[in-house]
Amino acid sequence: MARLRTDWILFLTIVAMVFFGLVMLYSASSAVAELRYHVAPYYFVVRQIFWAFVSFLVLMYFKRTDYRRMNSPTKNFHPISRRLIIGGGLLLVIFAACVLTLPLTLNRHSNLYFDQQHAHSGQLAPDSSQLWMWFGTTKLGQSLLGRCLAGGVISLLIGIAAAAISVVLGVAVGVVVAVVERWGDAGG
């Protein structure tokens, strides 16, 4: 099946957005690198280029998806595709990491406690020697990893709650519509 022209337009739009985002990030991070950390302006650029490359690879991987086949399944289309397994597996790994570390992020005596302040560790760069320093610290010396994990649990629970509410409301509206249509058919 031939690709649609809109696939390339969408792809080039996303690439342009990523490029402009990188330019904005570079200008902000070079100022932060010089003013706050007193390092060369390109200190954060290497990390940004790495993540831009990873996002580009992910984008190229998902660009191959023919979305028209999802609307009209054929013999060769399997509902449980490799991409679905990879995406769902990645989401499960993130969810498991957030939930399994919840006792550490909610324990006031843990370094990963989301609100634990270390006065001597304000705004430190990431350090792989200690777990709680993997993402660095805030101005107050709070572990960014602990805050991300606690925030991840909250975000995932909000997403699950929103999905559950939409299912309940959708089923309720569907039942009401089915009952009303049945009454309308019986009386007409």
Q: What is the pLDDT of residues 25-74, one digit of tens each?
A: 666 666 666 676 677 767 666 777 777 787 778 777 777 766 666 555 55
Residue where a domain stops, chosen among 73, 107, 136? 73
d(CA 188, CA 185): 5
Q: Give the pLDDT band of residue 88 (cuts 50, 70, 90).
A: confident
Give Cα 19 to chain centroid, integer Å.
19
Higher pLDDT, 80 or 168: 168
Q: Are residues 86 and 20 in the same domain?
A: no
Map tokens 């790994």 to a residue.
93
Q: Are residues 85 and 147 in the same domain?
A: yes
Residue where a domain stops, chosen among 56, 73, 90? 73
**pLDDT of amino acid 104:** 83
Residue 177 domain boundaries? 78-188
Q: Give the pLDDT band of residue 166 (cuts 50, 70, 90).
A: very high
Winning range, highest mean pLDDT, from 36-50, 72-86, 87-101: 87-101
Q: Are residues 24 and 94 in the same domain?
A: no
Pair of tokens at residue 38: 């007193």
Q: Are residues 133 and 90 in the same domain?
A: yes
Looking at the chain, the whole-number percentage of residues with pLDDT higher than 90 is: 5
Cβ 62 vs Cβ 14: under 8 Å: no
When divided into structural domains, the chain yields a total of 2
Q: Are residues 82 and 175 in the same domain?
A: yes
**pLDDT of amino acid 186:** 59
Pair of tokens at residue 175: 């039942």
Q: Are residues 155 and 97 in the same domain?
A: yes
Residue where a domain stops, chosen among 73, 95, 130? 73
d(CA 151, CA 153): 5
**76: pLDDT strictly greater than 70:** no
d(CA 64, CA 56): 13
Q: Are residues 60 and 94 in the same domain?
A: no
Q: Are residues 51 and 95 in the same domain?
A: no
Instruction: Judge if pTM exceeds 0.75.
Output: no
